[in-house]
Chains A and B, each alone.
Chain A
Amino acid sequence: MGKVNIEIDGKKLVADVGSMIIEVADDADIYIPRFCYHKKLSVAANCRMCMVDVSNLPKAVPACATPVADGMVIQTQTPKAVDAQKSVMEFLLINHPLDCPVCDQGGECELQDLSVGYGEDVSRYVEGKRVVKDKDLGPLISTDMTRCIHCTRCVRFGQEIVGIREMGATGRGEHVEIGTYIESTMDSEVSANIIDLCPVGALTAKPSRYKARAWELRESPSIAAHDCLGSNVNVHHRRGEIIRVVPRENEAINEVWLSDRDRFSYQALTDGKRLLQPKIKKNGQWESCDWQTALNFAMTEMKRIIGASNGDNFGAIIGNNSTTEESYLAQKILRGLGCNNIDFRTRRRDFSADDKGNVRSGLNFPLQDLEHMDATLLVAGDLRHEQPLATLRVRKSTGFGKAMAINPFDGEYNFRLSHEIQPEPHLLANEFACVLSAVAAKKDDAISAEIKEWLSGVEHNKVHSEMADELIAGEQTCILLGVYAQEHPQAETINWLGEQVAKLTDSKWGYMTQGCNAAGNKLAGAVPNQSEVGGRATLGKNAKQMLNEGLKGYLIHNCEPDVESLWSEQALENFNNAECVIALTSYDDGRMLDYANVMLPIAGNFETSGTFINIEGIWQSFAAAVAAPGDVRPAWKILRVLGNLFELNGFDYESSIQIRDELREKYEVSGDKKVSRKMPEVLCSSEKFEAPRESLGLYRVDPMVRRAEALQKTPKASTHPISISRVKT
């Protein structure tokens, strides 16, 4: 790309040809006021606030819509520029209400800030101001449309980033209104980003409405815990109470966005029914007790059951969203006691590759690359509802590249698919195998005899062939396996196919996982087949066996297998019949009250320190943003004390950082153990088996999300599992 030399406010700068003045100024830390310009959105140039004085031009020009040219001399502070900006500000303030004291944006409002610099202290306008009716956008976003200055950032966000045009402008001139055309709520799973985008207080967060002012809030960085991307967030809290969660910019993961799920799930912690003290059930009645009593009770029961059965009759189910430290300590305790029944994969049917010591789980390429793909093949992936922010990247790539899908259900894509196959659920692997067959037909020389033989019965058609063409032709291509691929009874076959197709077509491949820390849990050893960092372990029972077989004792950590596992009914029955269920939970409600025997209150996300390892393998550690209420303690501390009570060695940690460092050291020694997948059995298309798509639903994925009130009120909370289960039959 060519370069040009320009000068802004006397600073000599080198800029890319075609970039706009405001971009160059931003990079050089020269501030130009703006309302409609946003670096992630297209240029609208409708607020006219970014006027600058360019030499040789008779009038001031908008910096966001003026490309740089060689030798341009730009002034941002000359009377010409400032006069233009002041005039624009006067027009903007004509219809803007003077209600800053009751506005939630007050104190962090771009209009408020700029009106100090560019507004007049007394308005010349004496005529009546206009009033616009507020729109009801649902339980997440509250509106005060009179405050709107028509920057159209929210409109452009829907149109360009999400691909669903939910907001739009109707009317002309003074009658222009931003709204949803017809009365409807915002349904997209990333809708609340328009709250951050809105430069004024027209769109604000409903759950935190009127709760706090910007200057009262303290900000703590943290990591969101509801999908495997590990979005970076800032937690805003006041006097120990979380007020809101906003995205923290990280170009490699969440860019500047955040999904609604990650944004509003904090409500479970502030408004949910929290368990504030340890409780033991005595004669069917829950009794509060102190930590000592509760932990001793848990220890005695665990010792009794594990001792009596050589570890066979006790099992631990770890939540998908547990921190790596918690999983590590939990498995350390269990393995220390001689029990290998520990698992977090409560939504997996295929455990046939459990003897493979693969540590890595997830993507084998940077998430950021998703947006540069010439061709993306989605297999059983409902990205929009499982990893909402990953869809935004795939959507970006469809601007020039192609997206294809093999999905047994209607995935409600927000981008155009060039090819789509909707097989019956039990034929998912077969259809994928057809793609491999089509690739094999084109790359005959690169294929081994074994695979040829494996593919002998598989016939591909034109669509498969075209998919293969796209994958071969594209310079950068990828195969992305969705969460359902991992739930499928032939998950390992699908993974193997993904690997093979990727190898032959020179594509990248990876799979998405349920929950936010599947990679971390696996690495920490919370699986029955391997201890931490892929170390050897006697094969224990996996989640499916534990939940179906009915053990005498269970330890449930940060999850509700009776709701979120694939075997929820069996789990409930077996928990009810168990002699002892030890539950580490943050909440004092649900069916857990019936089946648990002791409940230990653990700190929720944002209240504990820890580490999440995202799908890409990035270790993201965070500190607690707020202190946990009551007698609630971070789970790693509870597990540490439990380890000490069992008199196991190596439980003298003083901080979660020590636990992480210990694991990290081991990981660095062992490295990524990549064991090649063995060839699966030949597929048989005639055999029909049950492979229902039991989607958890967008807002039912984990205990925290299920208790977030605002999310539960959204239309998606009730319709999503239904719409997603439109499995083709």
Chain B
Amino acid sequence: MNKKLKQFLNSFLLIELLKGLAVTGRHMFSRKVTIQYPEEKTPQSPRFRGLHALRSYPNGEERCIACKLCEAVCPAAAITIEAGVRESDGSRRTTKYEIDLFKCIFCGFCEESCPVDSIVETRVFDYHFEEQGAQIMTKEKLLEIGLLHEEQLAKDIESDAKYR
């Protein structure tokens, strides 16, 4: 009997509704966490592992020496490298360097294994492909991305150097 009366009063006086509205009201005035992507972006760590890039030296020479450690360490077998002697100076260079982004799991092992800081992962994480096969990043594409983000990449590697 008592239980029924309590139930009736609760419904009649809209107490549950008011309780809910109170939560809404509280959140209305609290600090907002929603990010207005793409106008706004979350802060990123210098160790962020996004889209790959191949870096070059300031004089334009590619860093990669075709040691193939990244290919060997890649757990997803996403990297394919072919190497050879460069005609012009006889140095060891890649003739093909491809990363299949569909295979890549963004573990960052390639970056860690690289003895010359050539293959790196940039802070870029939003990209799309429109054609079949475009997910395969060729050497040219990777070098281009490297040039585009060189300033940021150099800074990130610098900041992380003391922990390596």
Listed in ascending order, the chain A residues whose CB lies under 8 Å from chain B are: 100-102, 106, 209-213, 215-216
Interface residues on B, range: 10 to 19
Give chain A nearest CB distance to B93 CB in angstroms: 8
The answer to the question of B157 belonging to the interface, with a C-beta cut-off of 8 Å to chain A, is: no
Indicate which residue in A101, A209, A211 contacts B67 across the interface (CB closer than 8 Å): A101
User: Whole-angstrom distance between the alpha carbons of A209 and B86 in the complex?
Assistant: 11
User: Whole-angstrom distance between the alpha carbons of A682 and B65 in the complex?
Assistant: 71
- Whether the Cβ atoms of B85 and A101 lie closer than 8 Å is no
Chain A residues with CB below 8 A from B107, complex form:
none
- Whether the Cβ atoms of A101 and B83 lie closer than 8 Å is no
**Contacting residues of chain B (82-132) with chain A, CB-CB under 8 angstroms:** 83-85, 91-93, 115-116
- Whether the Cβ atoms of A210 and B68 lie closer than 8 Å is no
- Whether the Cβ atoms of B84 and A211 lie closer than 8 Å is yes
- Known pairs A100-B67, A216-B68, A216-B71 / 16 extra A-B pairs, C-beta < 8 Å: A101-B65, A101-B67, A101-B69, A101-B116, A102-B65, A102-B66, A102-B67, A102-B92, A209-B84, A209-B85, A210-B84, A212-B83, A213-B67, A213-B68, A213-B72, A216-B72
Chain A residues with CB below 8 A from B92, complex form:
102, 210
User: Whole-angstrom distance between the alpha carbons of A212 and B116 in the complex?
Assistant: 19
- Whether the Cβ atoms of B84 and A101 lie closer than 8 Å is no
Give chain B nearest CB distance to A219 CB in angstroms: 17
Chain B residues with CB below 8 A from A106, complex form:
67
- Whether the Cβ atoms of A210 and B67 lie closer than 8 Å is no
- Whether the Cβ atoms of A210 and B72 lie closer than 8 Å is no
Report whether over half of chain A's contact residues are helix, strand or loop; otherwise say mixed: loop
Listed in ascending order, the chain B residues whose CB lies under 8 Å from chain A are: 65-69, 71-72, 83-85, 91-93, 115-116
User: Whole-angstrom distance between the alpha carbons of A102 and B114 in the complex?
Assistant: 12
User: Whole-angstrom distance between the alpha carbons of A102 and B92 in the complex?
Assistant: 7
Most chain B CB within 10 A, of A101, A209, A212, is at A101
Give chain B nearest CB distance to A413 CB in angstroms: 37
- Whether the Cβ atoms of B115 and A210 lie closer than 8 Å is no
Indicate which residue in B71, B93, B115 contacts A101 across the interface (CB closer than 8 Å): B115
Most chain B CB within 10 A, of A209, A210, A212, A213, is at A210
User: Whole-angstrom distance between the alpha carbons of A102 and B72 in the complex?
Assistant: 15
**Nearest neighbor of A206 in chain B, beta-carbon distance:** B85
**Nearest neighbor of A98 in chain B, beta-carbon distance:** B115
Give chain A nearest CB distance to B114 CB in angstroms: 9
Give chain B nearest CB distance to A267 CB in angstroms: 14
Give chain B nearest CB distance to A109 CB in angstroms: 13
* 7 A-B contact pairs sorted by A residue (CB < 8 Å): A101-B116, A102-B67, A210-B83, A210-B84, A210-B92, A213-B67, A216-B68
Chain B residues with CB below 8 A from A100, complex form:
67
User: Whole-angstrom distance between the alpha carbons of A212 and B92 in the complex?
Assistant: 11
Give chain A nearest CB distance to B92 CB in angstroms: 5
Chain B residues with CB below 8 A from A212, complex form:
83
Give chain A nearest CB distance to B26 CB in angstroms: 57
User: Whole-angstrom distance between the alpha carbons of A210 and B68 in the complex?
Assistant: 10
User: Whole-angstrom distance between the alpha carbons of A102 and B85 in the complex?
Assistant: 11
Give chain B nearest CB distance to A237 CB in angstroms: 14
Give chain A nearest CB distance to B34 CB in angstroms: 46
Closest 4 CB pairs of A and B: A101-B67, A210-B92, A102-B92, A101-B115
User: Whole-angstrom distance between the alpha carbons of A100 and B115 in the complex?
Assistant: 10
Give chain A nearest CB distance to B11 CB in angstroms: 73
- Whether the Cβ atoms of B72 and A215 lie closer than 8 Å is yes
Chain A residues with CB below 8 A from B116, complex form:
101
Give chain B nearest CB distance to A217 CB in angstroms: 12
Chain A residues with CB below 8 A from B68, complex form:
213, 216
Give chain B nearest CB distance to A135 CB in angstroms: 15
User: Whole-angstrom distance between the alpha carbons of A149 and B83 in the complex?
Assistant: 27
